[in-house]
């Protein structure tokens, strides 16, 4: 163990605002798959067209790092099975957006639904010299009319691990690695293939998870009855209660899987359930996390008195509360590439990305870093050699000034129905930032009829557009209602 001053220092969460109603999915597919009606309760979180695992991971990390000196982070792990790039470090994009600096060890972790829990366990067991930011995010695609389409959800969670005043300390961890293939996805396939549910339950969950739980409790010297919160993601009906009974855990310790309110968020879900448990926990509570997938990661935590002072973040409850119902199944299919739509000639322009220009301006583009004049204090974007203040015009007087964490108000806006957008119309306009500076920006998550001059906005990291010819995706910052 790394000591009582080492553990989870902070956590954050992000769930996309749009929530697709499962009843809509069931109704649309009733002609072919009437059995989906039995899964038609509740809603699942779905990404907007400009969201993916990277953008969701950035938002969860921003929530986690609220009030934290980002310069202290020495390691970043991004866990996901839906990383946009196979050969480009996805964690590096997250680091750039967060302005963590280049003196950082960053890595992508994938290949299993345990990628997030394994990354967290490694950070906790490793006792890193500096804080490690573990980010888990997934936006899995599912075939139309499948049970996976009903079960899955999109989301992200982030945990900061290090020395300080932890909210929870690790009592013990244990991992079982078993090539039990309950579902898989090859590199050339867009969707998971799953095996028969009863076999997965009886041979997988009910045999593998109890071994891991027994081992971690034995290592910690803790009785099963002393567990306060049991977190185990799973889409199988009542699987959490069945495993808890097999492990002799208290019935009341079994946590809600959040299935009805957001769906199973894949790699992010073990951390998301852990964060939800931390939000409800009291000092001294024991939280047992079990993440299943080609084995099982089991982590046992003890909550510290610092949990009473944990505040200043949106967290899981805030992310779930920030929602809007979405009953447009066709739009969901379009966003996820399940519908081959005629998008018109305006969607056809060639959009090459000069990688040299992107590299030279990476802080400006992916970090939204402008400049602040040391002489007169004027802020501006983009940063230039000369101050834009006509009464100053100082040369080479610009210090870095990050607009990404600045709020602002809408000065003007346009809803453009002619410019191509996957979700028309395109909203853009002028934003005046608190503390100075103005910028012409795209808007996202805009509700028709609910945008007007004076609207408070905040910045979010999103997909700007795509280069389908070369297979490249560009990111930038957009304004969204605060």
ω into 382 cis (within 30 of 0): yes
pTM across the whole model: 0.96
Give SS3 for 247: helix
Q: Is the pLDDT of residue 1 over 80?
A: no
Q: Is the pLDDT of residue 128 over 60?
A: no
Nearest alpha carbon to residue 220 among 121, 270, 290, 288? 288
Q: Average pLDDT, whole number, for the chain?
A: 95
ω into 22 cis (within 30 of 0): no
Q: Is the pLDDT of residue 459 over 80?
A: yes
Q: Mark out the alpha helices in 203-268 (DSSP H runs).
A: 206-220, 239-247
- Tell me the per-residue pLDDT of 162-195, one tens digit each, with 9 for 90 and over: 999 999 999 999 999 999 999 999 999 999 999 9
C-alpha dihedral (61, 64, 66, 67), degrees to nearest 10: -130
Q: Distance between CA 446 and CA 113 in Å, rounded?
A: 33
Average pLDDT on 32-38 reads 95
Query: Tell me, what's the pLDDT at 129?
Result: 66
Summarize the chain as % helix, strand, coil (round to 5).
30, 30, 40
Query: Tell me, what's the pLDDT at 53?
Result: 98
Query: Tell me, what's the pLDDT at 205?
Result: 97
Query: Tell me, what's the pLDDT at 3?
Result: 63
Q: Is the pLDDT of residue 241 over 60?
A: yes
Q: Map tokens 């009319």 to a residue.
A: 145
Q: Map tokens 């739009």 to a residue.
A: 331
Distances (CA, A) of 61 to 64, 83, 110: 5, 16, 18
Q: Residue 200 gets which letter from DSSP? A: I
Query: Tell me, what's the pLDDT at 370?
Result: 96
Q: Classify 6-305+313-335 by CATH class.
A: alpha beta
- Tell me the per-residue pLDDT of 332-354, one tens digit each, with 9 for 90 and over: 999 999 998 888 888 888 888 89
Q: Check residue 251 and give left, alpha or beta (phi > 0: left; psi -120 to 50: alpha).
A: alpha
Q: Selecting from 1.20.1640, 1.10.10, 3.30.1360, 2.40.50, what CATH number does the domain 350-368+406-481 have? A: 2.40.50
Give the total residue count for the chain.
482
Q: Distance between CA 52 and CA 220 in Å, rounded?
A: 38
Query: Quick one: pLDDT band at residue 448, thresholds 50, 70, 90?
Result: confident
The full set of domain ranges for the chain reads 6-305+313-335, 350-368+406-481, 369-402
Q: Map tokens 């994009």 to a residue.
A: 93
Query: Tell me, what's the pLDDT at 393?
Result: 95
- Tell me the per-residue pLDDT of 204-215, one tens digit each, with 9 for 90 and over: 999 999 999 999
Phi, psi dihedrals of residue 132, rounded to the nearest 5°: -115, 130
């Amino acid at each position: 163990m790394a000591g009582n001053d080492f553990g989870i220092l902070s956590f954050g969460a992000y769930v996309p605002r749009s929530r697709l109603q499962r009843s809509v999915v069931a109704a649309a597919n009733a002609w072919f798959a009437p059995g989906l009606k039995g899964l038609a309760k509740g809603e699942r979180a779905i990404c907007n067209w400009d969201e993916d695992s990277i953008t969701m991971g950035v938002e969860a990390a921003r929530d986690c790092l609220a009030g934290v000196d980002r310069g202290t982070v020495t390691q970043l792990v991004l866990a996901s099975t839906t990383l946009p790039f196979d050969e480009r470090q996805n964690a590096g994009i997250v680091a750039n957006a967060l302005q963590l600096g280049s003196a950082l060890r960053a890595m992508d972790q994938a290949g299993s639904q345990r990628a997030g829990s394994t990354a967290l366990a490694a950070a906790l067991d490793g006792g890193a010299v500096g804080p490690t930011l573990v980010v888990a995010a997934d936006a899995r695609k599912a075939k139309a009319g499948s049970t996976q389409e009903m079960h899955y959800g999109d989301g992200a969670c982030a945990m900061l691990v290090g020395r300080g005043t932890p909210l929870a300390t690790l009592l013990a961890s244990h991992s079982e690695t078993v090539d039990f293939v309950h579902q898989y996805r090859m590199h050339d396939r867009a969707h998971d293939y799953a095996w028969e549910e009863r076999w997965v339950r009886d041979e997988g969950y009910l045999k593998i998870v109890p071994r891991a739980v027994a081992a971690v409790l034995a290592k910690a010297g803790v009785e099963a009855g002393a567990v306060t919160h049991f977190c185990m993601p799973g889409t199988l009906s009542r699987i959490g209660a069945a495993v808890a009974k097999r492990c002799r855990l208290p019935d009341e310790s079994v946590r809600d899987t959040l299935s009805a309110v957001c769906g199973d968020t894949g790699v992010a879900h073990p951390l998301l359930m852990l964060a939800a448990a931390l939000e409800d926990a009291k000092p001294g509570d024991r939280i047992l996390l079990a993440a299943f997938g080609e084995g099982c990661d089991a982590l046992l935590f003890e909550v510290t008195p610092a949990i009473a002072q944990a505040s200043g973040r949106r967290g899981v409850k805030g992310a779930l509360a920030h929602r809007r119902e979405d009953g447009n199944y066709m739009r969901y299919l379009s966003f996820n590439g399940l519908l081959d739509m005629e998008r018109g000639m305006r969607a056809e322009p060639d959009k090459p990305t000069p990688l040299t220009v992107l590299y030279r301006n990476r802080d400006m583009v992916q970090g939204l870093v402008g400049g602040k004049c040391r002489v007169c204090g004027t802020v501006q974007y983009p940063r230039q050699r000369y101050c834009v203040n006509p009464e100053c015009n100082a040369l080479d007087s610009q210090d870095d000034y990050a607009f990404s964490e600045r709020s602002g108000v809408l000065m003007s806006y346009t809803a453009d129905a002619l410019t191509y957008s996957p979700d028309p119309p395109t909203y853009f306009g002028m934003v005046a930032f608190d503390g100075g500076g103005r910028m012409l920006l795209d808007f996202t998550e805009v509700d028709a009829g609910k945008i007007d001059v004076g609207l408070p906005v905040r910045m979010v990291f999103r997909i700007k557009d795509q280069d389908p010819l070369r297979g490249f995706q560009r990111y930038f910052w957009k304004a969204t209602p605060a």
